[in-house]
């Protein structure tokens, strides 16, 4: 932190266009780090400040540090001592107070036990294979969509099979809808929506709530999937196989944060049979 981050021309190491290395700095300063992406485990190593307050809707996290030096001597979570050199999300997800005691030399007891190391998620387990979805039935098919934000963000961009060059459908319409014509009745069983974060935009712009509907005639619609409270950059919805020529996405919450403009951003709508 002291050698790589400076105010000089080389003060930001690596590619910081998307904030990756700046995010590393923030995590390091907080005294914890998500060492395994996608897992609910945070490796801990002691904060850079005597007190930190992280304000979160689900509960605030307070990080306190006593003592001088760069080595953890002891850690308590809500007053309960732990020798683990990691935390699990349930430990802090609802709010917590972390209290560190720091020292100038490595501790002979804290974090030294076999069970104190962060878990290995491959040890003793078999990886779950990603389902083979097959051919995307929606790719390249005709679409009808609510008014787009710009000519280059029309509905057909959501079925072009690409995330590159900001290829998405964008709409400011309330209750924005995107309909794809599969050409003839098909058996469909799953749907994938790729949202703003997957295209390199803010994850707060990921679609918060939407319905996926199917129809054989374009006039009568049935709800296949209903998603609410989503923060994901990619949503996968598996349903009972059904016949459909048309698939429609109707968006009720274009974003998942209160501070974002209500603009729908769908990078890809994928439809799979089976």
Structural contact between residues 54 and 63, judged by C-beta atoms closer than 8 angstroms: yes
Mean pLDDT for all residues in the chain: 89
- Region 20-35: what's the mean pLDDT? 84
Q: Strand runs (DSSP E) across the chain, as ranges?
A: 32-33, 41-44, 51-54, 61-66, 71-77, 80-82, 86-88, 96-103, 143-145, 169-171, 177-194, 209-215, 222-227, 234-253, 264-266, 268-273
Residue-wise pLDDT for 94-129, tens only, equals 899 999 999 999 999 999 988 888 877 665 556 556
Residue-wise pLDDT for 50-64, tens only, equals 999 999 887 899 999
Query: What pLDDT score does 56 carry?
Result: 86
The answer to whether residue 5 scores a pLDDT higher than 90 is no
- Region 144-161: what's the mean pLDDT? 96
| Least confidently predicted of 61-70, 134-143, 153-162, 194-203 | 194-203
Query: What pLDDT score does 122 carry?
Result: 62
Looking at 75-189, list the stretches that DSSP marks H as alpha helix, in order from N- to C-terminal side: 89-92
Query: What pLDDT score does 210 carry?
Result: 97
Residue-wise pLDDT for 183-227, tens only, equals 999 999 999 999 998 888 888 899 999 999 999 999 999 999 999
Band of residue 156 on the pLDDT scale cut at 50, 70, 90: very high
Looking at the chain, list the stretches that DSSP marks H as alpha helix, in order from N- to C-terminal side: 20-30, 89-92
């Amino acid at each position: 932190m002291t050698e790589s981050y400076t105010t000089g021309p080389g003060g930001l190491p690596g590619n910081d266009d998307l904030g990756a290395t700046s995010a590393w700095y923030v995590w390091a300063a907080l005294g914890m780090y998500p060492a395994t992406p996608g897992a609910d485990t945070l490796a801990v190593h002691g904060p850079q400040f005597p007190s930190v307050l992280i304000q979160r809707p689900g509960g605030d996290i307070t990080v306190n540090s006593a003592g001088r030096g760069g080595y953890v001597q002891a850690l308590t979570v809500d007053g309960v001592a732990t020798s683990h050199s990691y935390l699990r999300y349930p430990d802090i997800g609802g709010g917590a107070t972390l209290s560190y005691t720091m020292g100038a030399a490595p501790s002979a007891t804290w974090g030294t036990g076999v069970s104190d190391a962060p878990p290995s998620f491959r040890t003793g387990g078999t990886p779950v294979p990603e389902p083979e979805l097959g051919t995307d039935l929606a790719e390249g098919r005709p679409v009808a969509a609510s008014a787009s934000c710009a000519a280059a963000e029309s509905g057909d961009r959501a079925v072009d099979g690409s995330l590159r060059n900001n290829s998405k459908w964008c709409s400011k319409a309330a209750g924005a809808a995107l309909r794809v014509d599969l050409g003839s009745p098909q058996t469909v069983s799953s749907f994938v929506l790729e949202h703003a974060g997957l295209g390199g935009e803010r994850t707060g712009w990921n679609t918060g709530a939407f319905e996926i509907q199917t129809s054989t005639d374009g006039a009568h619609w049935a709800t296949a999937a209903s998603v609410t409270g989503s923060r994901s950059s990619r949503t996968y919805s598996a349903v009972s196989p059904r016949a459909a020529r048309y698939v429609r996405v109707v968006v009720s919450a274009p974003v998942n944060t209160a501070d974002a403009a209500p603009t729908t951003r769908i990078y890809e709508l994928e439809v799979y049979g089976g």
